[in-house]
Structure 1
């Protein structure tokens, strides 16, 4: 599969500054020119897919068609087995139009109630779309436990509620470099990098 070469230009199809920052940091060693859909003023497509992959492909294709450049899109979220996989693809929507993730975390806590099953996992699908119509997707996940009260002010989204398996701190308490090295996004990115990226 033909990948990217140093100096190539591509679009990260996100308006989420946290996702852009993490993905741009992961791409930095490959000497690519990375643009943001948000900075380019591209409209956000409606996420009508039923899975993380379908939504990621939809976003990547929209950015690719709008710019004529290859695009990488990330669709990710928190899945809670005791809540039948919710919020899942609706993770951002649980935070409301003002993206208040404390509200979303409190909703997860309230809906779990006294259920002893506090498992959760973050899932990330990274999809790449090219102007010739090709798409390819990579998926990563990280398992953990959902804690209450929340802890830490780092990261974004559900990070202060999520304690990854094998660690005594939440993503919200963890040093950003450590979190970014082991996150669901990092797992998916490692697969993408192995298939498509070459260091200069």
Structure 2
């Protein structure tokens, strides 16, 4: 049962006040939730574990920055999401043309930067909402850029099964983002 509920507000308040025992209990009690969310968003179990650990380190170091003790869950989920996105971005090749809005080597305007961040959040939310099997294939193939055969091998799938999951994941993300009508792109669940 303790696994199902986040640490309560009095514990958070005590940790914010500098109580080291409360802080240790808070970090320990938050771990299952943070790790579960990281597993649902990150491509690999190793990335999920690393993202969860990083989020708990931030919790430990910056608990005083949390404004409302009841906002712990949303704060931690945002930290984990950002860490998973950071890890995924680190795997992409970087070059002069890899940056959106980097025409001619100039930095994007503040407005472009905000719009790109908002769009990235929408995409991250759509990917996070995918079933676990589809999300892993999509992240490994489209975010990390791994070859299809490598993705299939790492997940213990046939190439055909990997392609099917990837197709469903891409279609679901497009539908979620409103880029494709629900009736297009295949027959039902593709089963």
- How does the TM-score come out when normalised to structure 1? 0.26
Return the structure number with greater strand share: 1
> Which structure ranks higher in relative contact order (CA pairs < 8 Å, sequence separation ≥ 6)?
1
Return the structure number with greater helix share: 2
The structure that has the greater radius of gyration is 2
- How does the TM-score come out when normalised to structure 2? 0.26
